[in-house]
């Protein structure tokens, strides 16, 4: 396949058709999502689309290293090239590199003077003038609102002078973002008049849906019907093959509960290897892990509610009816619902369920048709759920960017080694 054909399959072409006129030069587009959902990958898909159309891209990465951003671009380009059987792959890669410059800063601040300076430098030294400016991990909440609005306005003025589109990512938070939002939310709603286009990335099962929250002055933005692969942000419907994308380790997020035992060990390993952690909990509950704890609201907890009769039918047992334990079961739904795969440390029983409360995580993984792996501590082996039964397998690796790591509180040395070896197989030796 040729480069232009690949461009026609870009998610950006579908997004452009869903909007009145796309973003447009001098205008601000915002990519909104919670942590770990895919803002960086979506922004890089924009960058690849622009560069492959021979339009210059300036990618500003805040709080990230240059190597980290380069590895993202390489991974997503290779994914597109492999998926589309791209002819002359290396020539196209060289074309992308020619039309893309990356500037990385260790902090999350981007005064407009800094952008002005770097643009002037590249114009003077390299004769490079961007058609698209991408800003990742921008701090929307730093400083007074009036001063912050002035800075955003100044960034837009620079983009307008260059006749460039301006895309900025924004992290949202569970407390502010309702399910299936239809309008701008915090932290961007305060600056609505400065934003022409806004999209929200929302996990849906294995994939991510794109919701159009603002489309210039259109009072009722269209539905995009755009579903993306959760790891790469390419079209999920491109093929039926679940391809592995080799992403930088910082792109991966552990979804867990932060409890003593298996979950705490998963969390400690995630931190040691440089991954992100999200541990779902609720007000008043103490967790072993303190990094990445998210307290779910009452409304969010109820999304994870399942009837006792279903649990009884699937696991052939019931759980304590105490309020705390029932809430714990509801947090497990959040651990599994948006994960790409599920890893459990525990014990497989004769009835094909997993022992204890851990069994609910494994059951939800099967219910959502996820890849589910269980390390049975009593047998010392990994098993995968296949065709209605547990099959002994070679030790697995973490393949999906969002994955669940859970299991028994009664973790033994064999189980602890299994978790550490899982991370080492997946990401190489940890940098101690």
Q: Where in the chain is the domain with CATH 3.40.50.300?
A: 3-247
d(CA 302, CA 325): 14
Residue 331 has pLDDT above 60, yes or no: yes
Provide mean pLDDT across the span 226-249: 73
Q: Where in the chain is the domain with CATH 3.40.50.450?
A: 252-427
Helices (H) and strands (E) in the chain, counts: 13, 16
The CATH class given to the 252-427 domain equals alpha beta
CATH 2.40.40.20 is held by the domain 3-247: no
For the chain, percent of residues with pLDDT exceeding 90:
51
Provide mean pLDDT across the span 135-156: 88
Lookup: tokens for 241: 């093959």
Query: How many residues does this entry show for the chain?
Result: 432
Q: Which residues, at least 6 apart from 307, have a Cβ–Cβ distance to it below 8 Å?
A: none
Mean pLDDT over the full length of the chain: 87
Provide mean pLDDT across the span 13-24: 78
Q: Which of 402, 409, 401, 398 is nearest to 373 (CA)?
A: 398
Provide mean pLDDT across the span 11-18: 74
d(CA 84, CA 232): 14
């Amino acid at each position: 396949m040729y480069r232009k054909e690949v461009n026609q399959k870009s998610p950006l072409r579908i997004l452009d058709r869903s909007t009145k006129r796309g973003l447009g030069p001098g205008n601000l587009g915002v990519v909104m999502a919670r942590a770990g959902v895919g803002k960086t990958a979506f922004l890089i898909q924009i960058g690849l689309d622009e560069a492959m159309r021979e339009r210059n891209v300036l990618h500003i990465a805040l709080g990230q290293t240059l190597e980290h951003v380069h590895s993202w671009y390489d991974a997503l380009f290779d994914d597109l090239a492999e998926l589309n059987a791209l002819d002359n792959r290396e020539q196209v890669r060289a074309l992308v590199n020619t039309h893309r410059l990356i500037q990385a800063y260790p902090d999350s601040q981007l005064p407009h003077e800094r952008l002005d300076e770097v643009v002037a430098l590249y114009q003077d030294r390299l004769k490079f003038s961007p058609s698209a400016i991408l800003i990742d991990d921008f701090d929307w909440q730093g400083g007074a609102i009036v001063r912050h609005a002035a800075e955003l306005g100044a960034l837009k003025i620079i983009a307008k002078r260059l006749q460039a589109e301006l895309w900025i990512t924004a992290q949202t938070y569970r407390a502010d973002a309702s399910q299936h939002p239809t309008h701008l939310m915090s932290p961007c709603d305060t600056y609505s008049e400065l934003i022409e286009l806004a999209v929200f990335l929302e996990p849906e099962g294995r994939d991510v849906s794109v919701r159009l929250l603002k489309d210039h002055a259109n009072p009722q933005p269209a539905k995009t019907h755009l579903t993306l692969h959760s790891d790469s942000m390419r079209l999920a419907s491109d093929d039926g093959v679940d391809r592995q994308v080799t992403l930088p380790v910082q792109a991966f997020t552990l979804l867990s509960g932060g409890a003593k035992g298996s979950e705490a060990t998963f969390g400690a390993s995630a931190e040691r290897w440089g991954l992100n952690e999200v541990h779902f909990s609720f007000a008043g509950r103490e967790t072993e892990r303190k990094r990445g704890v998210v307290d779910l609201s009452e409304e969010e907890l109820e999304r994870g509610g399942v009837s006792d009769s279903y649990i009884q039918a699937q696991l052939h047992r019931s759980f304590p009816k105490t309020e705390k334990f029932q809430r714990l079961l509801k947090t497990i739904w959040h651990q599994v619902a948006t994960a790409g795969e599920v890893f459990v440390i525990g014990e497989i029983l004769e009835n094909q369920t997993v022992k204890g409360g851990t069994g609910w995580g494994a059951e939800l993984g099967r219910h959502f048709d996820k890849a589910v792996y269980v390390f049975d501590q009593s047998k010392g082996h990994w098993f995968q759920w296949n065709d209605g039964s547990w099959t002994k397998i070679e030790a697995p690796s973490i393949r999906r960017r969002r994955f669940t790591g859970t299991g028994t509180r009664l973790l033994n040395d064999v189980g602890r080694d299994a978790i550490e070896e899982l991370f080492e197989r997946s990401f190489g030796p940890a940098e101690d």
